[in-house]
Amino acid sequence: MNKRLIAAVSGAALAPAFVVVLAGAASAHGYINSPPSRQAQCAQRTVQCGDIKYEPQSVEGPKGLRSCSGGNARFAELDNDALGWRATPVGRTATFRWTFTAAHRTSNWQYYIGNTLLKEVSGNDAQPPSTVSHTVNLGNVSGRQKLLAVWNIADTTNAFYACVDLQVG
Ligand SMILES: [Cu+2]
């Protein structure tokens, strides 16, 4: 083979490998595994779910949403409050632990109940370690609550979403 043909053939051989690497990066992100978020309960088969059970770290959507699915139709069951999610008993405060499969540079983490922002933790535009825990004061709420946690990425327009069902008090 001449040099040009060799270059063309090796380029064609490399292209699929490159695509696989990019797809791997795109599917590797993060979620809350303690207390078990809705996607964690799917992954643990606590609740019967679709694709999300294979990739609980992938609830990625545009910043600014307030939905458990991050607007992903493929993960729509995360928005269904009647699916039998197990609520974790907690007191006045609760500690949430994120597991990251890709250490995206972070603007901040936010914790909401309803439209109330309970806590915001800066990520200093830095890459987080593989796990991060935040203790959140839940304020005056009691009984069954749905907390929405948001991981806002610093270098993309996206965020990751995780809903955690709690039994407060
Ligand atoms: Cu990612």
Strand partners, 35: none
Question: 66, 115 in Cβ contact below 8 A?
Answer: yes
Sheet holding 131-137, edge to edge: 30-34, 93-100, 131-137
Distance from residue 64's CA to the centre of ligand 1 (Å): 17
Strand ranges for 25-157 from DSSP E: 30-34, 60-62, 88-90, 93-100, 106-113, 116-126, 131-137, 143-153
Specify if 69 maps to a domain.
yes
Distance from residue 7's CA to the centre of ligand 1 (Å): 32
Distance from residue 142's CA to the centre of ligand 1 (Å): 34
Range of the domain at 131: 30-168
Distance from residue 159's CA to the centre of ligand 1 (Å): 9
Specify if 3 maps to a domain.
no
Tell me the C-alpha distance between 70 and 26, whole Å.
15
Domain count, the chain: 1
What pLDDT does 160 receive?
98
Confidence class for position 162, pLDDT limits 50, 70, 90 = very high
Specify if 21 maps to a domain.
no
pLDDT, tens digit, for every residue of 104-161? 999 999 999 999 999 999 999 999 999 999 999 999 999 999 999 999 999 999 999 9
Confidence class for position 40, pLDDT limits 50, 70, 90 = very high
Specify if 98 maps to a domain.
yes
Q: Reduced to 3 states, what is the DSSP secondary structure of residue 141?
A: coil
pLDDT, tens digit, for every residue of 46-83? 999 999 999 999 999 999 999 999 999 999 999 999 99
Tell me which residue of 135, 145, 136 sits closest to 117, measured CA to CA.
136
Distance from residue 104's CA to the centre of ligand 1 (Å): 6
Specify if 16 maps to a domain.
no
Q: What CATH number is associated with residue 122?
A: 2.70.50.50
Question: 147, 137 in Cβ contact below 8 A?
Answer: no
Specify if 138 maps to a domain.
yes
pLDDT, tens digit, for every residue of 8-26? 444 444 444 444 444 444 4
